Amino acid sequence: MTPPESFEEYVAARYAALTRTAYLLTGHHQDAEDLVQTVLMKAVGAWRRIQADPEPYVRRMLVNENISRWRRHRGRELTVASVPDRALSDAVVDGRLDLLAALRQLSPRQRTVLVLRYFEDLTEAQTAELMGTALGTVKSQARDALARLRALAPGLDIRVEPEVASDAVRLHARLDP
């Protein structure tokens, strides 16, 4: 991939992907958009330095800013077990909502490990470097997070499978038949 020529070009090409990653990190659309906007405001100031390869820098900023946000706001939000007035009855949509609800109940560090490892397809080493933690921490957080997801969403078949012709892995959640 050739590096973007301008900050505006980078934002136009990557905004949707950054917002999806931020949504998985935060669990809320509005928080995800706020997170991406905050990170992009900070990234524009460093653009000359990072423009050759901005993706790792911006990802790291997403993770760090999200950690800072949950540290600042720890204990201020009330989490509920179910969303009121849910009119959706489709099993697949319900399964995805159950998975998202279970993800929201994980600690921010566990959720970050799962997002980076299984959504962003980063290796354990890349995830550890991005989070500024040890490789063993990433492994144990991923193991504990997957076990907790399985306990929180027993109706989902949550498993990790290697991708064909790649060292990447994918997190699969299927509804039990």
Query: Bigger pLDDT: 41 or 102?
Result: 41
Contact between 32 and 26 (Cβ < 8 Å)? yes
The CATH code for residues 1-75 is: 1.10.1740
What predicted TM-score, i.e. pTM, was given to this entire model?
0.55
CATH 1.10.10.10 fits 88-177, yes or no: yes
Phi, psi of 85, deg, nearest 5: 55, 45
Instruction: Name the average pLDDT for the chain.
Output: 80
Q: Are 116 and 130 in contact (CB under 8 A)?
A: yes
pLDDT at 160: 76
- pLDDT band of 165, cuts 50, 70, 90: very low
> Where are the domain boundaries for CATH 1.10.1740 in the chain?
1-75
Distance CA 130, CA 137 (A): 12
**CB atoms inside a 10 Å sphere around CB 2:** 4
Say which amino acid occupies 172: H
In the chain, CATH 1.10.10.10 covers: 88-177
* Better-scored residue on pLDDT, 53 or 2: 53
Q: Go through the chain and tell me how many residues it has.
A: 177
